[in-house]
Amino acid sequence: MLSIICGEDTVLSRKYFTDLKVEYAKKECEVQEILAPQIQNLLKWQGENLNLFASKTVFFTDHLDSLIIKKRGKKSTKPLPVLTLEVVCEIIAKKKDISLIVWEEKAQRDLKLKTIAQIKEFKPSSSIFKLLELCKPGFLKEFIHMLRLVLDSQDPMFVFIMLTRHIKTLILAREDIFSPIVQSWQRYKLTDQAKLWQGEKLTQFYEGLYKIELSTKSGTNPYGMKNSLEILACFHL
């Protein structure tokens, strides 16, 4: 069985992933953490060491999807010397005696393995996207109000991550640089929002977010995440 924990709310999805390990351990299951490239060894281990699977064993890994290559060109008629990672994942997904749980730092729509795995996705609330839309000069009052509403129900670090990611996207939008997955209507929307920032204000806002991150991680931020974001907004919005 192949299960994937994913979603743009990486804070909540990671917490769920971590909590699962604890839950399985409480059920007296054997919990094993392995590196994504080692997934290919699971079938070999099962065949060589039956005791490993005598009791319920659950394997945990992360960032497996990025290793998957969906297109390998023209298929060869010769047998492959080893199973590819893609084939191994397909086999594991069909097996009931192997449990592999994967954490991915992406949305379900971006997963290459979504068609064969059981997915649990953690999506941001619509209020988060409203907050991002309000992050522009002249909307300080509305931004602060929405920020407080969002922080009442969302993890502060997740809100910070989403905001930082959005501001970086706006900076790139000013240079007409977009991710391939960004749709045309999103490009127009991002470009319009980026144009509202004059001069170096947008870059300065991003630099302010970077300083908040550094001080928070080093434990030297005296204001906390919520107040730091409000202060930053007051200077730039």
Each residue's pLDDT tens digit, 87-118? 889 999 998 888 999 999 888 988 999 999 99
Residue 5 bridge partners (DSSP)? 103, 120
- Name the domain boundary from 121, 140, 161: 121
Do 110 and 149 lie in one domain? The reply is no
Over 80: is that where the pLDDT of 168 sits? yes
Do 224 and 193 lie in one domain? The reply is yes
Residue 59 to residues 82, 121, 151, 168, Cα–Cα distance (Å) = 21, 19, 34, 35
- Name the domain boundary from 53, 87, 121: 121
- Residue 109 has phi, psi (to 5 degrees) of -60, -25
Over 50: is that where the pLDDT of 80 sits? no
24: domain CATH number?
A: 3.40.50
Do 116 and 48 lie in one domain? The reply is yes
Do 99 and 158 lie in one domain? The reply is no
Over 70: is that where the pLDDT of 53 sits? no
Please report which residue ranges of the chain form alpha helices under DSSP H: 10-26, 42-48, 85-94, 126-133, 140-151, 156-174, 184-195, 201-218, 224-236
Do 183 and 225 lie in one domain? The reply is yes
Q: Which stretch of DSSP H or E encloses residue 121? A: strand 118-121
Q: Residue 160's closest CA among 202, 220, 102, 217?
A: 217
Overall number of domains in the chain: 2
- Give the domain extent around 182: 126-236
pLDDT per residue over 170-196, tens digit each?
999 998 988 887 888 889 999 999 999
pLDDT band at 73; cut points 50, 70, 90: very low
- End-to-end Cα distance, the chain: 49
Say what percent of the chain tops pLDDT 70: 90
pLDDT at 71: 53
pLDDT band at 49; cut points 50, 70, 90: low
Handedness of CA 17, 20, 21, 22 (dihedral sign): positive
Do 88 and 191 lie in one domain? The reply is no
pLDDT band at 76; cut points 50, 70, 90: very low
